[in-house]
Each structure stands twice: as structure tokens, then as C-alpha cells.
Amino acid sequence: MIHIFNGFHNPNGGSEQEALRLYELLRGKSEVQLWSTSSRTSSELSAAYPIRRLAPLKASLPRGGTWVFVGAHWRNRVWPYLAGRPERLVYVFNTFHPKLLALTSSPPPLLRWPATEFVLISSFQAQLLGVKGEIQPSPIDIERFAPRAREAHARPVIGRLSRDTADKHHPDDIAVYKTLVARGCKLLLQGATTLTGALPTGDAIRLLPEGAMSAPDFLHELDIFYYRTGEHVETFGRVVLEAMACGLPVVCHRHGGYADVIRHGENGYLFDTSDEALAILDQLVAQPELRASIGGAARRTVEQLYSPQALAARTAFYLGRRAR
């Protein structure tokens, strides 16, 4: 039995999607139960998936098996003392906060839990934290993000997708967006209403709220995917991999877990400064054939990353079928 824990707050959240994709991967190979660690579980997710709420008074608790925490933890909770002891304890560490690392590596001694096995989602994250563990890219249904045939836009559309919070946006990108519009591009930004007032309104710029369109539908409206964050550091950046799966050329700030899989100038682009980003974007805007070539290489990279062999190795780890 495998128990997967998450807060399941946000249907568009990366942590929630990671937990659900892991559930989809494992449920045909083992009995799997989803557990919500929060009282604010999304009604949308609860309607779509068999998520149980941890409720000690109702004896709704995990018993034995492998426990997998995905972006959730057990700090200051009573239920772990009442549940059955896990046989394995796996923590999918999809952040970079050292305090959470200390917490998850040393649960209270009274629990008598086994040693934590860490799953990290990028080499970038492992180096950032100085932690050893299993490195597994965040699971993505790449068929859901398969490329689609469509007509090219007269004015190239450049866009990005994220949660609608200020820390997901870099302040220097305001100037980048204004420059792109002045050069004849269109911008489609979802999860960007926090930028309202900082950018001019009009046909050239559309700011959509988080979740306005499904991720695949949104990404297929773009010609180029651009990504840089502010205070938030992407330990993986699943949306970048989703854009690559759609066959889009991606232009991303170098500081993020996605940089592990981007080979600059081959399957995407990495930049350090706004001037570098604009120079790359100008190239892609002017050369449709380059966009197609880079996008095709991006798709092949993702197919390799999530190949049947790679998914089988990931599954084997959770089923305990190889040395740990």
C-alpha cells in the first residue's frame, strides 16, 4: 500500500499536480491512497480524485505501507501518533527551504518512523541544498501536452504561465514586455493579473488570471515560451517542461531546476540578463524555422525524460524493487 500526502489546495499548483501525476503512475501497479493534510482541500480536486481527509476522530488514518509526502509535512500534528507506523517514509522535496529539510529529515523520535528517503526533483535543487537523494523530475503527462498542428500567427505570440502571485514575476520583465510589444509582438500572460497597472492595456497584451485556460490549451496559443521568476526560485519549473512537451522553444532565466535539461541553442535557451533574453527572442521572432527546430528538439528531450524506461525506474523506486 502506498499513501500519498498533499494539501491539495490549488488545482493549478505544481505540488498538487506532482502528487496527482505520481498517483496516476503508481495506481495500476499498487494500491494507492491520496490523503489531504489540510482542511482547505480543493472541492474541484476532491470531485476528480479519491482524496481522503486525515481525520483521527473518525479513524481516517493511514496504516502501514509506504508513506510519500509531496510538498506536505507532519509538523505540529497529532495524527501521526495515532496512525500505524509506515514501513517506508519518502519525502518528495520540491522546495529549497533548509528549515523544512531539517524537519523532514528528523521526525519526532516518539514516532519511531524509518529513516527518511528523499526524492529531489532536479540536480539544481540537490546542489542548492547539499542533499543526497533520488533525483526524479516532477511527473508530467506528456501526451496531454503533445504538439498540435495550427496556423502560424501573423504577429508572434510570446507568453508564460504561472501562479498569480507577485513572487512568480521578475520586476525587470515589465521592461522586457514593453520592448517586445514595441517590436511588434503579442503577449499572452496567464497568472499575471498581479501585473495589472504596470503594463499598458490593449490588443497586444492580454493578462489572464490563474486557471483561465487549461495549461495545454494556453500553451498551444503561443509561438514562444518565456520564463523568469522573482523572489520565488523554481527547483524544477514543471511549466517549462510542459511548454517543451508542446514543442515550443523556451527562453528561460538560467537560475532554475529546468536548466538541468535545457541545452542552450539546441533544445531551448538560457539567459542571465534582460538584454540577452531580448536578443534571443528577436532571433526566434524573425526565424519561424528556428522556432520549429528548437521546439522539435525540446519535445524529443521531454519524450526521453519521460520514456517508458524512465517511468519504469521511477515506479520501481516507490515499489521498493531495487536497492535503496
Q: Are 188 and 118 in contact (CB under 8 A)?
A: no
In this prediction, residue 321 carries a pLDDT of 61
Grid coordinates of 191: 497568472
**DSSP readout, 45-107?**
HHHHS-EEEPBGGGTB---SSEEEEES---TT-SHHHHSPPPSEEEEEE-S--HHHHHHHHS-
The whole-model pTM stands at 0.82
Please state, in angstroms and as integers, the Cα–Cα distance from residue 4 to each residue in 31, 72, 195, 256, 274, following that order: 11, 10, 35, 26, 40
Lookup: cell for 278: 531580448
The domains located in the chain, with CATH, are 2-139+306-319 (3.40.50), 157-304 (3.40.50.2000)
Report the pLDDT value the prediction gives residue 324, as an integer from 0 to 100: 40
Cell numbers placing 61: 488514518
Q: Find out whether 284 and 232 touch, Cβ atoms under 8 Å.
A: no
Structure confidence by residue, pLDDT tens digits, 202-259? 889 999 999 999 999 999 999 999 999 999 889 899 999 999 999 999 999 999 999 9
Q: What is the pLDDT along the chain (324 residues), one digit of tens a residue?
A: 999 999 999 998 888 988 999 999 999 899 999 999 888 899 999 999 999 999 988 889 999 999 999 988 777 688 999 998 999 999 998 776 767 777 788 888 889 999 999 998 889 988 888 888 899 888 888 999 999 987 778 889 999 999 999 999 999 999 999 999 999 999 999 999 999 999 988 889 999 999 999 999 999 999 999 999 999 889 899 999 999 999 999 999 999 999 999 999 999 999 999 999 999 999 999 999 999 999 999 999 999 999 999 999 999 999 986 444
Backbone angles phi, psi at 258, to 5 degrees: -60, -25
CA distances from 27 to 88, 119, 268, 310 (A): 18, 19, 33, 17
Q: What is the pLDDT of residues 108-141, one digit of tens each?
A: 888 999 999 999 888 998 888 888 889 988 888 8
Distance CA 287, CA 278 (A): 14
Q: How far is CA 31 from the centre of its chain?
A: 25
Phi-psi sector, 135: left (phi>0), alpha (psi -120 to 50), beta: beta
Q: Exposed, middle or buried: residue 141 (CB in 10 Å: 0-12, 13-18, 19+)?
A: middle
Looking at residue 222, the DSSP 8-state letter turns out to be -
